[in-house]
Chains A and B, each alone.
Chain A
Amino acid sequence: MELTVAPSQFFWAAEEWERFYQDLATAPVERVVLGELVCSKRLPFYQDWIPAAVETLQSAGKEVLLTSLALITLKRERKQNAQLADMGVEIEINDLTALSYLPEGARFSVGPLINTYNESTLRWLASRGAARICLPPELPLDSVTALAKAGSECGVAVEVWGHGRIPLAISGRCYHARLHGRTKDNCQFACEDDPDGLEVRTLEGKPFLSMNGVQTLSDSYACADYQIEDLKAAGVSALRLSPQSKGFGEICTLYRQRLQGTLPVGTLSAKAIAQGEGIRLSDGFLKGETGVSWSGSQPAA
């Protein structure tokens, strides 16, 4: 199985963004998807760094793709996304709008925010030129198995969400701005202070979600540690690792070792939990009762 790095979901300062992708050049991953997924207002802060990051990663032998936005509404966003194809890099669509901008027959990838729930949809995307599809994180293992099979029949590589806070929802409303009593248009980049999202607790004080501007993530970090054998058996071709502000290089290395069989089951997740206070894991979407369920033991909240 290969490793794909997801586009960062968070708003990082340009220098940190740049350093993150420089560091990735040495990480044991096959593929990196980058660019702005969540909020079009963030892009101007680091877009000038993108060509250099692409070049660095390509020279390091990685396949590089550019993501579309997850929710394209404004004129500016339509224009921005229509121009993505001009960058000369394969596009990963995360809003179907981005597909409408690609020349017919062009090769593209499909991100986890496109609803690929069944074989017909997968085959339709393949017929339009999709070469790789990362499945929506909420799919159970049975669906993953059926889709990986359908993918192998029509030459589409199927990928699943492997590690990181799970994208659960996207909205027209910015929750960070709302929290600070601002409107989205005058958000003053309230999400900037939370490089891994902002913890949202329930009324009994349980950590539950993570706020990231217009996006809502899980509090828990998805972790495929206990699922890797099943995913391999299902024919999944790659795991997707979602960037976090600290210790991401270690995550990449741990997954590589786990895939190579040099790490026993349970060690990867134990080390992921040890990365920081308040890191909780989940793998429930694949086989559990609920998405938040976890196969291993959970540290106290």
Chain B
Amino acid sequence: MTFYQLIEDTTVKLHKFAATQLPNEVSEALKKMQEAETSPPSKAALSTIVDNFGIAEETATPMCQDTGIHIYYVNIGENFPKVLGIESILRKASARATKEIPLRPNAVNPIVGGNSGDNTGRHIPYINYDFIPGADYLEITVFPKGGGSENMCALGMLKPGQGINGIKKFVIETILNAGGQPCPPVIVGVGIGGGADIALKLGKKQLMRPLGQRHPEPEIAQLEKDLLKAINMTGIGSMGLGGEVSTALDVKIDYAHRHPASLPVGIAIQCWAARKSTARIYQDGRVEFLTHKED
């Protein structure tokens, strides 16, 4: 097998893992939430959710019909020499995964209409690249993002004078506006500063962090904890049916330094079907799956 084929095959496998099995930390958190919820409609919705991801995993079927638009996070070890052609490999993997698993074709031309049929199109799949100093591997994360939760994402170009309190208010207002539409319990990623695009990118990137993990800076960690508690105080609950503890699974925040005149806040919202899968591919052909176990 060529190295390129190995990357393609691994990516198709990652798609299958992502679509059919929740990362363990997410499924465990949802089960715990189902036990803790006291409001009957939300508790019932959580039971259906738990049943659903259980059957999906057993039968290797996509847990949600919205198998998302295809987004990749590719982290390239600075000592990993073989990245030439990665984009065409990933596009091929997207189309192959769509046919083989199968996934729903979700790439639509916004101007002239028409679904491409294989989840590839202009700028889609979308690939985010980063470099990892000192690493000798290629790390690929498959992140299929559903439309329902994506539609509730928000960008606020706040005035610097609004400060941290303005950020808190914007987050709560965004969650209230979303209600049951993004399929709660949700995970909320907040990116602060940088610029409009940077805030949203940082917000979305937070959705990669493990549940329960707090930001290393204590002020941010506290803000994450406070906003999580406040969001659950809204009582929106699972699927917006009203519930005491199940509006959000977690809140993740990160920041970039801002322009003196700007305070951008990007909010990314992830539905309960928080699908992602990651593998590292080493130069010698070794593949290590980080989020899922290979049979």
Q: Do A and B come from one complex?
A: no
Residues of A within 8 A of B (CB): none
